[in-house]
Amino acid sequence: MHAVNDSPSNRLQVLPPTSDLLQHSGVRPLIAEQGRDVVMGWIRDALADVRRGLLAGETHGDRRKLTDTVAERVAHRAERARRNKFGRLINATGVILHTGLGRAPLSKASQTAVAELAGAGNVEIDLETGERRHRGYQLNSAWHTLSGAEDSLVVNNNAAATLLTLQALCQGKEVIISRGQLIEIGGSFRLPEIFKLSGARLREVGTTNRTKLSDYEQGIGPETAAIMHVHPSNYRVIGFTEEPRIDELARVAHAHALITIDDIGSGSLIDLTKYGLPAEPTFSESVALGADVVLGSGDKLLGGPQCGIILGKSEFVQRIRRHPLARAVRIGKLTLAALSETLGSYLRSEAESEIPTIAMLAVQGGTLLKRARAIEEKIGETQQLAIQVSEATAPVGGGSLPGAEMPTAVLSLQHQAVSSDELARSLRLGRIRVFCRIQQDKVLVDLRSVQSEDDSRIVLALRLIDGQENIDLV
């Protein structure tokens, strides 16, 4: 008998050619779905994995079986790509302004405007004169009506608004700020570093919990350009505290020919105390109290798209607009379209009914409880899921209203066959993607952050997880 030649070259002879894999019934449909180049990359990766295994002594059967094995690995890669594809999901965490999930959901009018502006629009053109104008000029009237500001500029986020304002108005000069306001926001945004990047010099006064008006007055020197106030929108200092009001800071600043910059953080336009929430500064209050430049976010309590809002006196906003950095941080037409419609809801006094964030803040806990029970009833008798409706509390989140919680209603889920972690993962990766939270070993579907129009999709998602068949997605 002759010894079987088990050389590396012989082991690799069973590897299928790429042409066979491209024609495999499990691979061929993926080309139309994902693109030929992408699928080819997956095939090469799968073949490389199998090749390493063969050389290490693994056995996969004959070429036909090995072809199926490689095709399965390609299909697995395709499934992973589908699961991680950027797209829609339902925020059922209870955190209305969830940074990782995109913060404020857009209103229907904003969504329509974004779709319409996929083509051409009067982004920087004055239709009356045919002349070019600055981007966002169309919103000046709305901002003036809603806040009293003389002029406005919108950039891509509030960090950019802060950097641009400091660089345009204070570069090479000192800016006075309380030590208690040297904030850090998620994503490595630290205010001292923004100062350094802008070229403005930071002049700290007071202490972490107490800063008096006299501290600001004593900090003013020949190199001082502005006094800056920053609202701590992602934390709260309680107890033995003191902080001057913005009108007091403005009075001191103007007595010394300085600029008053007020960063209100969450960008609110309305009084939130009517919803049982802590008071948050608003654009209109800051402008009325004498701030020269007011900064805020568009995708937090305003309820619009991600952007940074700069409002204030024309002489300062125009200087900011003319700065070269303004072009680098300007907003796109889709953001402008969504923001325009968001402001339109406020102008019509329809924010509570039209803007999802405001609607979620306004809805009563009892209403959420009724919705939760209706969802439970529509799911019907379950096979593997145990569902319990209960009351709970949820934070607002997203760097807004720190420590504030609102009453909510949740569906507590437990599955007979899988752990809570596995159940939550299945909901995140399902045909209807639902992002939940886990508490006390139960998966919670929290309706405080769910738009009522998505209740039916939650019903379908949970029925699918439960293993119920013949469900048409809507």
How does DSSP assign 380-446, residue by residue? -S-SSEEEEEEEEEEEEETTEEEEEEEEEEEEEEEESSS-HHHHHHHHHTSSS-EE-EEETTEEEEE
Looking at per-residue pLDDT, the higher value among 5 and 15 belongs to 15
Q: How many whole angstroms separate alpha carbon 416 and alpha carbon 155? A: 50
Strand order in 151-155's β-sheet? 151-155, 308-312, 293-297, 259-263, 224-230, 174-178, 201-205
Exposure letters 427-458 (e unless 16+ CB within 10 A, then b) = beebebbbbbbeeeebbbbbbbbbeeebbebb
pLDDT at residue number 238: 61
Mean pLDDT lowest among 108-117, 264-273, 389-398: 389-398
Residue 399, pLDDT above cutoff 50: yes
Q: What is the pLDDT of residues 4-14, one digit of tens each?
A: 455 656 667 77
pLDDT at residue number 188: 62
The residue whose two tokens read 């405007």 is 113
Residue 186, pLDDT above cutoff 70: no
471 pLDDT band, cuts 50/70/90, is very low
2 pLDDT band, cuts 50/70/90, is very low
pLDDT at residue number 5: 52
pLDDT at residue number 400: 65
Mean pLDDT lowest among 82-91, 110-119, 137-146, 369-378: 82-91
pLDDT at residue number 431: 87
Q: Tell me the whole-structure pTM to 2 decimals.
A: 0.88
Structure tokens at 175: 């800016």
Bridge-based pairing state of the strands 400-415 and 442-446: antiparallel
Say if CB 302 and CB 316 are below 8 A apart. Answer: no
Strand order in 385-397's β-sheet? 385-397, 400-415, 442-446, 437-439
Q: How many whole angstroms separate alpha carbon 82 and alpha carbon 399? A: 30
pLDDT at residue number 6: 58
User: What is the percentage of the chain residues whose pLDDT exceeds 90?
Assistant: 72
Average pLDDT, rounded, for the chain: 90
pLDDT at residue number 10: 66
pLDDT at residue number 460: 95
pLDDT at residue number 3: 44
- CB count, 10 Å around CB of 288? 13
Say if CB 411 and CB 465 are below 8 A apart. Answer: no
Residue 234, pLDDT above cutoff 70: no
Q: Domains of the chain by range and CATH?
A: 13-83 (no CATH), 90-100+360-466 (3.90.1150.180), 108-354 (3.40.640.10)
Q: What is the pLDDT of residues 254-271, one digit of tens each?
A: 999 999 999 999 899 999
Residue 324, pLDDT above cutoff 90: yes
pLDDT at residue number 4: 47
> What average pLDDT does this structure show over 230-243?
68
Q: What is the pLDDT of residues 283-296, one digit of tens each?
A: 999 999 999 999 99
> What average pLDDT does this structure show over 27-41?
92
Say if CB 158 and CB 265 are below 8 A apart. Answer: yes
Residue 461, pLDDT above cutoff 60: yes
> What average pLDDT does this structure show over 447-456?
96
185 pLDDT band, cuts 50/70/90, is low
pLDDT at residue number 8: 59
In sequence order, what DSSP letters do the residues of 324-387 get, joined into one string?
THHHHTBPPHHHHHHHHHHHHHHHTT-HHHH-HHHHHHHS-HHHHHHHHHHHHHHH-S-SSEEE
